[in-house]
Amino acid sequence: MTALIERVLVLPGTLLIPEEGPVEHVRNALMILRTLAQQQPAVWAMNPELDRAERRAGYAVTLMELRAHYTPTLHAAQHLRGAVEALLEVPVDWDVIPALRGATARLLRALFQLNAQ
């Protein structure tokens, strides 16, 4: 027997997994960037924009986790925008290092979700 829950088809015996929120998207982008730093340290060392993007994304996560105390949407969005801009400034072909595309996509998704709140 199947059911529709909030316009999502749920099959019997399956788990309903909620969509990732902005914090999860940024954390995943940070994991992608840290993996890039470990696997290709020369690329990381020669492009300070990557370090800047990681720092800005980390700041955004910190602000979004403080949501219980105040609404950090504006400040977190500024840091996410800065992280995306830093990744766009990296002078590396994204076809050579596809991790940049994935990290940027995650950060943009988080930015759109944060702005929609």
pLDDT tens track for 83-108: 999 999 999 988 889 999 999 999 99
* Residue 79 identity (one-letter amino acid): H
Whats the size of the chain, residue-wise?
117
Are residues 56 and 80 in contact, defined by beta-carbon separation less than 8 angstroms? yes
Average pLDDT, the chain: 85
Percent of the chain with pLDDT over 70: 80
Interatomic CA distance for residues 42 and 1, integer angstroms:
54
pLDDT of residue 13: 60
Strand partners, 3: 10
Residue 1 in tokens:
């027997």
Strand partners, 27: none
Q: How many CB atoms lie within 10 A of CB 45?
A: 11
The Cα-based distances of 115 to 1, 21, 44, 62 in angstroms read 38, 12, 30, 17
